[in-house]
């Protein structure tokens, strides 16, 4: 993976705090990593949407806005069988593609638990 690809992956990483049945993210407006552009979001778990060989997809709600999102989790113990950084890279590249924007769900970022 080259430097440009690593930077793309890093630009989508969300600072996260894990609480019971919810997660808080700090994101930066326009990817500007400064205190003025800092936005905190809290998302609550609503239930499981589905599962597969490498993880589970959960539905979450942001109570402040009423927005929903799907969160794909990848089990760390199985991550060695899957190059998770490569998966994030491909998703990030697709998210940046204007031509493909209408074909994929919006990619908001990625995070990992401690």
Where does the chain have alpha helices with state H?
3-11, 76-79, 84-96
Structural domain count, the chain = 1
For the chain, give the mean pLDDT.
82
Q: Is residue 113 part of a domain?
A: no
CATH code (residue 21):
3.30.200
Q: Is residue 27 part of a domain?
A: yes
pLDDT confidence tier of residue 78, bands split at 50, 70 and 90: low
Q: What stretches of 52-99 adopt beta strand conformation (E)?
A: 55-62, 67-74
Q: Is residue 11 part of a domain?
A: yes
What residue numbers bound the domain in which 39 lies?
Answer: 3-103
pLDDT tens column, 35-47: 567 788 999 999 9
Q: Is residue 30 part of a domain?
A: yes
C-alpha to C-alpha distance for 69 and 77, rounded to whole angstroms? 25
Q: Is residue 112 part of a domain?
A: no
Instruction: Please report which helix (H) or strand (E) contains residue 22, including its range.
Output: strand 22-28
**pTM greater than 0.75 (yes/no):** no
């Amino acid at each position: 993976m080259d430097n440009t690809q690593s930077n793309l992956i890093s630009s989508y990483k969300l600072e996260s705090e894990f609480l019971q049945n919810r997660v808080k993210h700090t994101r930066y407006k326009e990817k500007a990593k400064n205190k003025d552009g800092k936005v905190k979001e809290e998302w609550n778990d609503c239930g499981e949407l589905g599962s597969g060989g490498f993880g589970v997809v959960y539905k979450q709600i942001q109570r402040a806005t009423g927005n929903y999102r799907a969160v794909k989790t990848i089990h760390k113990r199985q991550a060695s069988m899957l190059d998770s950084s490569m998966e994030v890279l491909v998703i990030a590249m697709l998210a940046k593609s204007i031509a493909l924007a209408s074909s994929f769900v919006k990619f908001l970022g990625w995070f990992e638990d401690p």
